[in-house]
């Protein structure tokens, strides 16, 4: 029971980082001069760098350990194609949810991996929870700003929705702990599928949004976001 409680607390704390990031963006909306345009784009790029680090340093390395090359190709490519179709559907209904989808596609498989790590006695699970939380902060900020571009979307409702979505962390963590710890192949497939989807969204939605003409610091934000993942990986 102690391990179960730890999984719930850690994944919930990692999930709470999403509404915390959204609250920071809410302050930016109330006080527009709090962050200048270059800094906002830098935060978007930082979130993109953090997502890329999750793919390159956590999801793909963990995912390819237990699958064959053909299975890895199918899972990764199907993830990218699925998110392409989802992106087309979101565009048709004019839904600005690309950043939100990217955030959840990163958060959920990593929370599953965290729960499975605890069940298998992996000592790096706590550090993984910290890394998830740090990644979720800029992603929550970016997703809030994207969603509230619609005039009929309330910032308060977005923050409340993110609080509810934070509960997906314990759900995913507990499923990894109880049901998927012995299903290493399935967990690997989930990670590779999510990796393909995240990579598509980063280059389709996040990277173009981060670009700012005649400004160079936003691109450096992507470097710093990826560097965050490198440091976390080396600590693990």
Taking only the tens of pLDDT, the chain with its 236 residues reads 688 888 899 899 989 989 998 888 877 665 555 555 666 667 777 777 777 877 887 778 888 888 888 999 999 999 888 888 887 887 777 666 777 877 787 788 878 888 887 776 665 667 678 777 877 887 788 788 888 877 777 888 889 999 999 999 999 989 988 887 778 788 888 888 888 887 887 777 666 665 556 565 666 666 776 776 677 666 76
Question: What is the structure's pLDDT at 141?
Answer: 82
**Which of 228, 8, 231, 12 is closest to 138 using CA atoms?**
228
Residue 93 sits at φ, ψ, to 5 deg, of -95, 5
Do 214 and 38 touch, CB atoms closer than 8 A? no
Range of the domain at 132: 2-235
**Which of 225, 231, 228, 209 is closest to 96 using CA atoms?**
209
Q: The tokens of 47 are what?
A: 């979130």
- The DSSP annotation for 153-168 comes to --HHHHHHHHHHHTTH
* Structural domains of the chain, count: 1
pTM: 0.70
Residue 186 burial (C-beta neighbours within 10 Å; 0-12, 13-18, 19+): middle
Question: What is the structure's pLDDT at 220?
Answer: 67
Question: What is the structure's pLDDT at 122?
Answer: 61
Question: What is the structure's pLDDT at 174?
Answer: 92
Q: Element (H or E) spanning 26, and its range? A: helix 2-30
């Amino acid at each position: 029971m102690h391990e179960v409680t730890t999984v719930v607390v850690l994944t919930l704390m990692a999930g709470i980082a999403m509404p915390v990031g959204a609250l920071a963006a809410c302050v930016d909306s109330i006080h527009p001069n709090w962050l200048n345009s270059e800094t906002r784009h830098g935060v978007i790029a930082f979130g993109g760098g953090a997502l890329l680090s999750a793919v390159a340093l956590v999801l793909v390395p963990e995912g390819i350990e237990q699958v064959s090359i053909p299975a890895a190709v199918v899972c990764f490519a199907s993830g990218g194609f699925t998110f392409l179709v989802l992106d087309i559907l979101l565009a048709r209904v004019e839904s600005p949810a690309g950043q939100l989808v990217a955030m959840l596609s990163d958060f959920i498989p990593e929370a599953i991996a965290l729960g499975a790590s605890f069940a298998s006695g992996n000592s790096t699970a706590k550090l993984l929870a910290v890394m998830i939380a740090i990644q979720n902060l800029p992603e929550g900020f970016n997703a809030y700003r994207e969603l509230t571009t619609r005039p009929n979307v309330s910032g308060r409702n977005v923050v409340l929705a993110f609080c509810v979505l934070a509960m997906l962390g314990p759900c995913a963590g507990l499923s990894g702990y109880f049901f998927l710890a012995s299903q290493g192949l399935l967990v690997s497939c989930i990670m590779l599928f999510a990796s393909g989807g995240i990579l598509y969204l980063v280059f389709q939605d996040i990277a173009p949004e981060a670009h700012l003409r005649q400004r160079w610091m936003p691109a450096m934000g992507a470097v710093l976001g990826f560097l965050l993942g490198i440091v976390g990986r080396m600590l693990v």
